């Protein structure tokens, strides 16, 4: 299958060829013809599947074919994204794929000056890529109107709901003409997404390229059992002994992201942290350094990392497991991109036995477990991992600006025996991590894009029964 056979016009085919793509990815094969035919779309696809080109290419062609003129303050296509990074990346794709077309596009998000954004929207745009909060600010200042929108794309809709943008999205939807084409992309088709889709989409083509909660087969996964106090040293050892040149490391909190990055840096491993407390400039610099190789280790929280598109990322490390098992799938999906092999290593401590078990249950696999010489885990750690017990007690309260949803219940608490390799024996041991601080109360602000601000008014997605 080639891009030509999908019905794309010459200026777009030329741009695709210049990007070096010869074969459309599965999502592109399905999405491009459907969007070109004018259909609404509901697509389950994560970053890394080629989804951006999957909607951008046919969107540009539809705009080209409809030949309407851009009016001042008006936009013809609107792409909404949850984070600044994703907005910037989608904006870059729009520029790349549309470079042989006379299209005006712009990207808007919070955390930077609004004035240049107002000037751009006031002229009118063919394509606007935006985070919902800043877009509403522009609307409230009469810098943009939505009454001529022909195409709406909701990218990473699940994450937008998680981040509390639903009210902004609904307000924007209400300001658009009824007749328009709607494309919805989401990592999963959770109930909230289906609910949103029901009111939004008209007889959509439904595409699911990454079945829910399946981990990509091409990603080699490994657990290193490790005592909490040794984690940073082990990470540092892994980076140097394996000569890793580019590794994305996930932590649960911003505080830990900083600590890991600072310690690695002190140990001579170039590292930077990326999370919602960092200024936009610092985040952009960290990402640029990571992409150009001057920063070997990028340490990120889940929200900050979401949507990051780093070509052929070879290595992901879960420094701490996520509280929500689905996030593991998102995290390791950063590696093994576009057909390349990827590796995902999880450093699992005594208080994470329950989390790794939940991940294995969700992804229907047993992840191989290997000790690292010189960093052997204690018997308690091995035993907790083997038995799937021990969950974090929130010693470090999660910063509300990183919190999006409560952890899901973890079944009935019945273990089915040790499934992992070679880690038997010893007592289970009580959970000894921390003293169970409470999360901070949340304020009443609208979420800030990309800064990972939470859904303030939103009910928690799932009740927490296990903390
Ligand atoms: P996305 O899922 O849209 O974030 O894209 C993931 C990565 O795959 C991006 O770096 C794209 O440049 C790349 N990509 C998209 N489509 C193709 C394709 N057909 N062939 C090879 N790489 C692609």
* Domain final position from 160, 187, 208: 208
Is the distance from the beta carbon of residue 53 to the nearest atom of ligand 1 less than 6 Å? yes
Is the distance from the beta carbon of residue 453 to the nearest atom of ligand 1 less than 6 Å? no
**Co-location of 268 and 329 in the same domain:** yes
Least confident of 180-184, 251-255, 283-287: 283-287
Q: Is the pLDDT of residue 211 over 70?
A: no
pLDDT at 73: 97
Is the distance from the beta carbon of residue 311 to the nearest atom of ligand 1 less than 6 Å? yes
Which CATH number fits the domain that encloses residue 14?
Answer: 3.40.50.300
**Co-location of 23 and 78 in the same domain:** yes
Residue 394 belongs to a domain: no
pLDDT confidence bin for 226, thresholds 50/70/90: very high
Pocket test for ligand 1, best of 53, 186, 210, 340 (most atoms within 8 A of CB): 53
Domain count, the chain: 2
pLDDT at 393: 65
Least confident of 54-58, 112-116, 366-370, 448-452: 448-452
Least confident of 88-102, 401-415, 422-436: 422-436
Residue 415 belongs to a domain: no
Is the distance from the beta carbon of residue 337 to the nearest atom of ligand 1 less than 6 Å? yes
Q: Is the pLDDT of residue 203 over 80?
A: yes
Q: How far is the CA of 183 from the centre of ligand 1 (A)?
A: 18
Q: Is the pLDDT of residue 432 over 50?
A: no
Is the distance from the beta carbon of residue 65 to the nearest atom of ligand 1 less than 6 Å? no
* Domain final position from 164, 184, 208: 208
**Co-location of 181 and 235 in the same domain:** no
Is the distance from the beta carbon of residue 79 to the nearest atom of ligand 1 less than 6 Å? no
Residue 150 belongs to a domain: yes
Nearest CA, atom 1, ligand 1: 50
Domain containing 43 equals 3-208
Residue 226 belongs to a domain: yes
Residue 457 belongs to a domain: no
pLDDT at 448: 52
pLDDT confidence bin for 114, thresholds 50/70/90: very high
pLDDT confidence bin for 325, thresholds 50/70/90: confident
Nearest CA, atom 11, ligand 1: 50
Q: Is the pLDDT of residue 253 over 80?
A: yes
pLDDT at 327: 85
Residue 462 belongs to a domain: no
Residue 244 belongs to a domain: yes
Nearest CA, atom 16, ligand 1: 50
pLDDT confidence bin for 339, thresholds 50/70/90: low
Nearest CA, atom 8, ligand 1: 50
**Co-location of 68 and 184 in the same domain:** yes
User: Higher pLDDT residue, 342 or 133?
Assistant: 133
**Co-location of 245 and 311 in the same domain:** yes
Q: How far is the CA of 206 from the centre of ligand 1 (A)?
A: 20
d(CA 165, CA 83): 11
Q: What percent of the chain has pLDDT over 70?
A: 80
Q: What percent of the chain has pLDDT over 90?
A: 58
pLDDT at 460: 34
Q: How far is the CA of 31 from the centre of ligand 1 (A)?
A: 14
| Mean pLDDT of all residues in 27-42 | 96
pLDDT confidence bin for 375, thresholds 50/70/90: very high
Look over the chain and give the mean of its residue pLDDT values, rounded to a whole number.
Answer: 82
pLDDT at 313: 81
Nearest CA, atom 13, ligand 1: 50
Question: 216 near 337, Cβ under 8 Å?
Answer: no
**Co-location of 127 and 264 in the same domain:** no
Question: Which residue, among 415, 400, 408, has the nearest Cα to 467 in the 3D structure?
Answer: 408
pLDDT confidence bin for 281, thresholds 50/70/90: confident
| Mean pLDDT of all residues in 255-266 | 95
User: Higher pLDDT residue, 306 or 214?
Assistant: 306
**Co-location of 238 and 317 in the same domain:** yes
Q: Please count the other Cβ atoms lying within 10 Å of the Cβ belonging to residue 183.
A: 29
| Mean pLDDT of all residues in 182-192 | 88
């Amino acid at each position: 299958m080639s891009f030509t056979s999908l019905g794309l016009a010459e200026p777009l085919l030329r741009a695709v060829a210049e990007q070096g793509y010869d074969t459309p990815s599965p999502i592109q094969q399905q999405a491009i013809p459907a969007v070109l035919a004018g259909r609404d779309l509901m697509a389950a696809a994560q970053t890394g599947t080629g989804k951006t080109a999957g909607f951008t290419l046919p969107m540009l062609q539809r705009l080209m074919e409809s030949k309407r003129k851009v009016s001042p303050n008006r936009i013809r296509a609107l792409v909404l994204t949850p984070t600044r990074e994703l907005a910037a990346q989608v904006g870059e794709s729009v520029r790349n794929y549309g470079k042989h077309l006379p299209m005006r596009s712009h990207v808007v998000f919070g955390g930077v000056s609004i004035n240049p954004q107002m000037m751009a929207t006031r002229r009118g745009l063919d394509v606007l890529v935006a985070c919902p909060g800043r877009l509403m600010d522009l609307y409230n200042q009469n810098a943009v109107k939505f009454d001529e929108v022909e195409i709406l794309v909701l990218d990473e809709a699940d994450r937008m709901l998680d981040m509390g943008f639903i009210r902004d999205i609904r307000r924007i939807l209400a300001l658009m003409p009824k007749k328009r084409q709607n494309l919805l992309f989401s990592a999963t088709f959770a109930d909230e997404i289906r609910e949103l889709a029901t009111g939004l989409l008209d007889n959509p083509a439904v595409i699911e390229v990454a079945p829910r909660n399946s981990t990509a087969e091409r990603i080699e996964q490994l657990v290193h059992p490790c005592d909490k106090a040794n984690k940073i040293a082990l990470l540092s050892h892994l980076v140097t002994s394996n000569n890793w040149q580019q590794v994305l490391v996930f932590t649960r909190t911003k505080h830990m992201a900083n600590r890991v990055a600072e310690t690695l840096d002190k140990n001579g491993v170039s590292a930077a942290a990326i999370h919602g407390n960092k200024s936009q400039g610092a985040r952009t610099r960290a990402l640029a350094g990571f992409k150009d190789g001057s920063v070997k280790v990028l340490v990120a929280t889940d929200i900050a990392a979401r949507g990051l598109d780093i070509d052929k990322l070879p290595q992901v490390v879960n420094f701490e497991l996520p509280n929500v098992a689905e996030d593991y799938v998102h995290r390791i999906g950063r590696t093994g991109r576009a057909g390349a092999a990827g590796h995902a290593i999880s450093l699992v401590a005594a208080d994470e036995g329950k989390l790794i078990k939940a991940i294995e249950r969700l992804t229907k696999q047993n992840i191989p477990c290997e000790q690292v010489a010189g960093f052997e885990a204690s018997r308690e750690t091995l035993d907790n991992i083997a038995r799937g017990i021990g969950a974090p007690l929130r010693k470090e309260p999660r910063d509300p600006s990183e919190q999006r949803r409560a952890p899901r219940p973890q079944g009935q608490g019945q273990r089915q025996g040790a499934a992992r390799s070679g880690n038997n024996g010893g007592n289970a041991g009580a959970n000894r991590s921390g003293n169970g601080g409470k999360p901070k109360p949340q304020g009443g602000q609208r979420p800030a894009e990309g800064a990972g601000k939470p859904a303030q008014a939103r009910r928690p997605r799932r009740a927490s029964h296990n903390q």
